[in-house]
Structure formats: structure tokens, C-alpha cells
Amino acid sequence: MDLGLKGKTAIVTGGSLGIGRAIALGFAREGVDVALNYRRHDQEAKAVVQEIEKLGARGLAVKADVAHFADAEAMVKRVVAELGRLDIMVANAGITWDAPVWKMSEEQWDTVIATNLKGTFNYNRAAALVFKQQKHGKIVNISSINGLRGKFSQANYAASKAGEIALSKSLAKELGKFNVNVNVVAPGMVLTEMAGKIPAEFLKTALDETVLGRFATPEEVAHLVCFLSSDLARHITGEVVKIDGGQYI
């Protein structure tokens, strides 16, 4: 199915690895020019840009910390200047730093909230300034089913992901009159590099929760993001779409 995305430009935060990488390449296959944000993985980001260009799209990697307000605004301005436009914002960057609440430090709380929730706000706000003026745009924020249900040892992560959902619903109300759609994708467990660091017993528990008996691939999440970024989803806004194989239910 042609999603009608050819010629558009997207930003994907956390685009050097995992879900972000899959989203960036999914866009490129649809003819979308992609700017990816990354913080540490220089070689991986460079490789993603090379793959984007092999697919016939333009790629741009920008090293920036999503938790820094000014970095987000600067990146959006750079993308518009160098790639000519901005149509899609995907806030994907996120981290975990787990501990039960009685062992969680202030640094653990602050770091996860700053990266996941403030980082999403920073890039959503910077994109909204462009989208409001041009009167069109798509925002897709990557949350988690744990932002809907909570998770033991993830008070910081779950709170940040729940905050992303509330932020997205608020922005959907604020930006709807400017023809801007804001939606949330809430994955369950996804087979990424991060999942590979989870102890086997926790992975088994997560797998047992799913009704389809397997985890999602990053590419499956990317398919959903591409759809929500297209005009096929033009009447969908303020929604949270789970992609979890039934793990939540």
C-alpha cells in the first residue's frame, strides 16, 4: 500500500538503534528524508544515514541530548534549513534505569524523566512551532504499555511514559485546529538491543503475558508509525495504539 509519504521529511529521536533505527529506515523506504537524533552512538548513526541514502532518501544525523531544550529547537531549525521542510516528528528516544522505589535515587528519577518526558516535550514543542505555522504535521510519540499499567521497579520509566501519553493528548487538543495529528504508539516488549540486556526470567514473564506468543520486531513498530504519519490516518488524533501481541490484556 502506498502511504503517500514520498517527498516528506521526518525527525526521529533516538534513531541510531533499535526501534528508532527501524522507524528511520521504514520512512526512507517510503521516500521520506530522515534526520535522526542520537547522543552517543556515532558509528551506528552514521551507518543508519548510509542505509537511508542507499534507499534513495536523504539522511542527516544530529548529535544532541534530547533533554536539552535548546538542542531540540536548534535541530528542528537545522533540519528545515538543510532538508527544506519538516512534516513528521517521532519522539522515540528513551532510557530505563530500574530500581524499586525504596532503592531509587534522585539521579535515577531525574535522568529518566528528563530524557523520556522532557525530551519528548522538547522535540514536540520545537516541531509544533513549525507545524502550527505551516498548518500541517504529524507527531508520533513512542510510549509503552507500562505507561498504562505501571511496572515493578520502573516507577520512573512508567511515570515518564504515562506523562508522554498525557502530553500527547493535550497537544492533540491544542494543535488539531492547525491540521496537526498527535498520536502515541505504546509497544510491549520489542526485540531490540535493550531487550537483550534483560535477564532471561523477566523476558519469559513478558513472553508469557502475550497472547500471540512472541515479541514484536522493531520493523513492526515502524510499520505502525509510518501509517500514523500518513494521511491515511488523517482522522486519528489523541489516540494510544498498543502494539504488544496482547501483552497488556
Q: Are 247 and 192 in contact (CB under 8 A)?
A: no
Instruction: Please name every residue paired with 183 in a beta bridge, in sequence order, or none if there are none.
Output: 140
Q: Are 157 and 98 in contact (CB under 8 A)?
A: yes
Per-residue pLDDT of the chain (249 residues; tens, 9 = 90+): 789 999 999 999 999 999 999 999 999 999 999 999 999 999 999 999 999 999 999 999 999 999 999 999 999 999 999 999 999 999 999 999 999 999 999 999 999 999 999 999 999 999 999 999 999 999 999 999 999 999 999 999 999 999 999 999 999 999 999 999 999 999 999 988 777 777 788 889 999 999 999 999 999 999 999 999 999 999 999 999 999 999 999
Find the radius of gyration of the CA atoms of the chain.
Answer: 17
Instruction: Please name every residue paired with 182 in a beta bridge, in sequence order, or none if there are none.
Output: 139
Chain mean position to CA 113:
15
SS3 assignment, position 40: coil
Identity of residue 39: R
Q: What are phi and psi of 233, to 5 degrees?
A: -105, 25
Taking the C-alpha atoms of residue 239 and residue 173, their distance in angstroms, rounded to an integer, is: 11
For cell 498504562, the residue is 148
Task: Give me the pLDDT at residue 35, please.
Answer: 98
DSSP string, 204-222: HHHHHH-SSSSPBPHHHHH
List the catalytic residues: 157
pLDDT in tens, 171-224: 999 999 999 999 999 999 998 877 777 778 888 999 999 999 999 999 999 999
What is the distance in angstroms between the CA of the first residue and the CA of the last residue of the chain?
30
Task: Please report the domains of the chain, with CATH numbers, ordered by start residue.
Answer: 9-242 (3.40.50.720)
Q: What are phi and psi of 161, to 5 degrees?
A: -75, -35
Q: What are phi and psi of 88, to 5 degrees?
A: -135, 135
| Cβ neighbour number for residue 188 with a 10 Å cutoff | 21
Element holding 91 (H helix, E strand):
strand 88-91
Pairing status of strand 88-91 against strand 9-12: parallel
Cell of 58: 536523504
What CA–CA distances, in Å, run from 54 to 1, 26, 139? 21, 13, 26
Average pLDDT across the chain, whole number: 96
Task: Give me the pLDDT at residue 194, please.
Answer: 72
What CA–CA distances, in Å, run from 133 to 32, 127, 137? 21, 10, 10
